[in-house]
């Protein structure tokens, strides 16, 4: 009886974990950001830049990001997804290699190039992550990094990959499982989010004790696009799941040369 009960409990934990990893797709900040052509950025902040308030930084970030709808026509990359679950009763993992395409008109499409590891993780977690990402892209307003969903507080300035960046604390205005709380690094030259360290605003399940999200963007041809993600979730009564995504090297097609000065 006890082995059977343990097996049922393990399966329940796994189902909860799979649902939680899929939910992360709606939280992960994977929307492209456009970087307007601005005067060249030095390695240190000017006095004017340093004097900006958190509200001004966010306003500039939104103004620059508005350009993505007109400035980015298409991109393509080959992504590498990997998920590993280590618990008391099991150690399983899976990998998925995917060609990702974004089109300004038709949205995102994915083509699986290869898969390996646990078939259950491939089908119930990784492939469903792709579907969840497409669904989340249809309703960006409710999860967007804007004052409508978050409050922001400037907590510091530091160099990130050789470029100055503002550090902002972000706190969701609504206790939603589709939002997150933590810190963002905003590039001081392009006013694009370059890095995120956060956790989901609300935990939807007792079985998940905490989740740490680490997300990085890369600047490619004037656009800031997702580069890497690592999300680690702790399962109560034993077990850890780690989801990693390498977004690959992008081939970017702009709609047209972007206007200088953000106009």
pLDDT at residue 169 in the model:
97
Percent of the chain with pLDDT over 90: 41
pLDDT at residue 260 in the model:
33
- Contact between residue 157 and residue 167 where contact means Cβ atoms under 8 Å apart: yes
Q: Of 209, 240, 210, nearest to 85 (Cα)?
A: 240
pTM (predicted TM-score): 0.82
How do strand 208-220 and strand 223-235 relate by DSSP bridges? antiparallel
pLDDT digits (tens, 9 = 90+) for 112-167: 999 999 898 898 889 988 887 877 666 677 788 999 999 999 999 999 989 999 99
pLDDT at residue 105 in the model:
85
pLDDT digits (tens, 9 = 90+) for 180-215: 999 999 999 999 999 999 998 887 666 677 889 999
pLDDT digits (tens, 9 = 90+) for 8-55: 355 555 566 666 666 565 566 555 554 444 443 444 666 555 679 999
DSSP notation for the chain: -HHHHHHHHHHHHHHHHHHHHHHHHHHS----EE--B-SPP-SS--HHHHT--HHHHHHHHHHHHTTHHHHEEEEEEEEEEEEEEE-SS-EEEEEEEEEEEEETTTEEEEEEEEEEE-HHHIIIIIHHHHHHHHHHHT--TTTSSSTTTEEEEEEEEEEETTEEEEEEEEEESS--TT-EEEEEEEETTT--EEEEEEEESS---TTEEEEEEEEEEEEETTEEEEEEEEEEEEETTS-EEEEEEE----EEEESSPPPBTT-
């Amino acid at each position: 009886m006890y082995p059977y009960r343990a097996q049922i409990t393990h399966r329940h934990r796994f189902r909860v974990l799979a649902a939680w990893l899929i939910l992360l797709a709606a939280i992960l900040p994977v929307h492209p950001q456009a970087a307007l052509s601005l005067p060249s950025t030095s390695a240190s902040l000017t006095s004017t830049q340093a004097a900006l308030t958190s509200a001004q930084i966010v306003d500039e970030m939104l103004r620059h990001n508005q350009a993505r709808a007109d400035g980015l026509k298409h991109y393509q990359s080959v992504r590498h997804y990997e998920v590993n679950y280590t618990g008391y009763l099991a150690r399983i993992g899976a990998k998925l290699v995917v060609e990702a395409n974004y089109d300004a008109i038709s949205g995102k499409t994915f083509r699986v190039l290869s898969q390996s590891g646990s078939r259950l993780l491939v089908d119930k977690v990784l492939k469903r992550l792709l579907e969840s990402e497409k669904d989340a892209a249809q309703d960006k307003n409710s999860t967007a990094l804007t004052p409508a969903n978050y409050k922001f507080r400037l907590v510091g300035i530091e160099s990130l990959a050789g470029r100055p960046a503002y550090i902002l604390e972000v706190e969701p205005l609504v206790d939603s499982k589709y939002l997150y709380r933590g810190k963002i690094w905003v590039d001081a030259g392009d006013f694009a989010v370059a890095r995120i360290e956060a956790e989901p605003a609300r935990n939807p399940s007792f079985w998940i004790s905490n989740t740490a999200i680490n997300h990085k963007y890369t600047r490619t041809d004037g656009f800031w696009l997702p580069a890497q993600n690592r999300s680690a979730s702790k399962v109560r009564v034993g077990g850890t799941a780690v989801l990693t995504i390498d977004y690959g090297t992008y081939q970017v097609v702009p709609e047209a040369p972007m206007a200088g000065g953000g106009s």
